[in-house]
């Protein structure tokens, strides 16, 4: 570390007293902290000190705020001449940077209040194993399917990308084939194992999701991962790929399966919805919704709702009777389906989370409270929490 930079520890997080010289010339120490402490994002805005997110909590990495122009100079040092011209034109810029021995980072540079800000994402090189994330094992059956559509839904920072990376890695380790991912940005780096895996980043390897998707079938994939479905055209590609014998995996920003289905339906005009529902019913293999909850040991763990594309579920989707889906999930635990509240109940019984955390995240707190009360009155006792279980290094 350069002279003039002072480090001190607070808990397990290393903080830096930021000097003006550091702000405009040196970003490496902040990236080292982000990577070494398994942080997810670094935030740099004028008028605030550098901050990073650790285990979902934002922490300052210093006391002195960035001044006007500091971040603009730092951002300029990260760009080449062409990127500077593009930023001047678009007022937005995405770029990747690497730090030897530390890691790879995705940088988003943008304007706010007529000054420059940056958010830097820590791109995780070590993909968590599915077995370590404590996800429902029924998802392994879905990821090994030859054909169909598998959708993950959840809010930002709910761990969707982490779960998807673990599932893709499982398939990569256990099945031969060609896996193509189209992401914005690439968040985990996969290596070729039993499968060949090609990762395309929007803005780096392709101009747009749509441009990449138009050429995907020419690349003879077995599995296609689409980073996010944001519009009708992307959804049309996903359904077309699934309908022609490919396994398609993607994400949506939604609260649960019902909300996600409503969003997908609203991508399409009224006259096209019957065909859409028929295609969804025919191709859906799994709808997975997840939220992160705080464990009794202070870690984070995914509570996962699972809806599988059973004949009953497929028929309800075709008939647009989406309000009946939750009841089917509640009655189909033996098949591997579960609602959020069932997932939370199981985590309490397992001893992973306490009742307060479960109720705070429940869809129906009253129903879950009653079920937990009946369970307690039956004399069952929760086991002690396993401090090593389910520790997540999370992406969105």
What tens digit of pLDDT does each residue of 21-58 get? 343 347 899 999 999 998 989 999 999 999 999 888 89
> What integer pLDDT is reported at residue 396 of this predicted model?
60
Measured CA to CA, the distance from residue 172 to residue 179 in angstroms comes to 8
Q: Containing H/E element for 315?
A: helix 311-318
pTM for the structure as a whole:
0.79
Of the candidates 39, 43, 46, the one whose C-alpha atom is nearest the C-alpha of residue 120 is: 43
Of the candidates 203, 193, 130, the one whose C-alpha atom is nearest the C-alpha of residue 167 is: 130
Q: What are the extents of the domains in the chain?
A: 12-123, 130-377
> What integer pLDDT is reported at residue 381 of this predicted model?
56
> What integer pLDDT is reported at residue 221 of this predicted model?
98
Please classify residue 160 by burial: count the beta carbons closer than 10 Å to its beta carbon, then call 0-12 exposed, 13-18 middle and 19+ buried.
Answer: buried
DSSP code of residue 168: H
> What integer pLDDT is reported at residue 383 of this predicted model?
53
Spell out the alpha helix ranges (H) of 175-225: 209-216
> What integer pLDDT is reported at residue 354 of this predicted model?
96
Residue ranges of the chain with pLDDT lower than 70? 1-25, 380-396
Measured CA to CA, the distance from residue 87 to residue 117 in angstroms comes to 12
> What integer pLDDT is reported at residue 94 of this predicted model?
86
Q: Containing H/E element for 248?
A: strand 247-252
For 12-123, CATH number out of 3.20.20.70, 3.10.28.10, 3.30.450.90, 3.40.50.300 equals 3.30.450.90
CATH 1.10.730.10 fits 130-377, yes or no: no
Instruction: Evaluate whether 171 touches 248 at the Cβ level (below 8 Å).
Output: no
> What integer pLDDT is reported at residue 3 of this predicted model?
38
């Amino acid at each position: 570390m350069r002279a003039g930079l002072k480090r001190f520890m607070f808990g397990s997080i290393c903080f830096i007293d930021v000097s003006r010289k550091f702000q405009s010339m040196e970003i490496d120490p902040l990236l080292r902290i982000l990577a070494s402490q398994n942080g997810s994002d670094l935030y740099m805005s004028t008028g605030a000190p550098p901050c990073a997110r650790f285990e979902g909590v934002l922490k300052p990495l210093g006391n002195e705020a960035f001044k006007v122009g500091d971040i603009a100079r730092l951002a300029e040092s990260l760009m080449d001449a062409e990127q500077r011209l593009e930023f001047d034109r678009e007022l937005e810029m995405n770029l990747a940077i690497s730090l030897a021995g530390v890691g790879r980072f995705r940088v988003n540079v943008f304007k706010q209040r007529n000054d420059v800000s940056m958010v830097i994402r820590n791109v995780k090189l070590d993909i968590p194993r599915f077995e370590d994330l404590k996800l429902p094992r029924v998802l392994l059956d879905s990821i090994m399917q030859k054909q169909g559509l598998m959708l993950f839904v959840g809010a930002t920072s709910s761990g969707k990308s982490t779960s998807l990376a673990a599932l893709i890695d499982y398939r990569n380790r256990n099945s031969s084939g060609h896996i193509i991912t189209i992401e914005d940005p690439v968040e985990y780096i996969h290596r070729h194992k039993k499968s060949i895996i090609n990762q395309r980043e929007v803005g780096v390897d392709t101009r747009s999701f749509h441009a990449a998707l138009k050429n995907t079938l020419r690349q003879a994939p077995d599995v296609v991962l689409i980073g996010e479905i944001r519009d009708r055209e992307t959804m049309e590609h996903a359904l077309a790929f699934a309908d022609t014998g490919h396994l398609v995996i993607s994400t949506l920003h939604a609260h649960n399966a019902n909300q996600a289905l409503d969003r997908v339906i609203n991508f399409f005009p009224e006259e096209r919805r019957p065909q859409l529902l028929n295609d969804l019913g025919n191709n859906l293999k799994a709808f997975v919704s997840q939220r992160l909850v705080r464990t009794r040991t202070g870690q984070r763990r995914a509570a996962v709702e699972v809806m599988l594309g059973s004949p009953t579920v497929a028929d309800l989707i075709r008939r647009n009777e989406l309000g009946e889906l939750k009841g089917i999930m509640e009655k189909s635990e033996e098949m591997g389906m579960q609602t959020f509240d069932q997932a939370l109940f199981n985590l309490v019984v397992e001893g992973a989370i306490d009742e307060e955390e479960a109720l705070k995240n429940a869809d129906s707190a009253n129903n879950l409270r009653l079920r937990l009360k009946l369970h307690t009155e039956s004399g069952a006792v929760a086991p002690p929490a396993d401090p090593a279980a389910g520790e997540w290094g999370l992406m969105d």
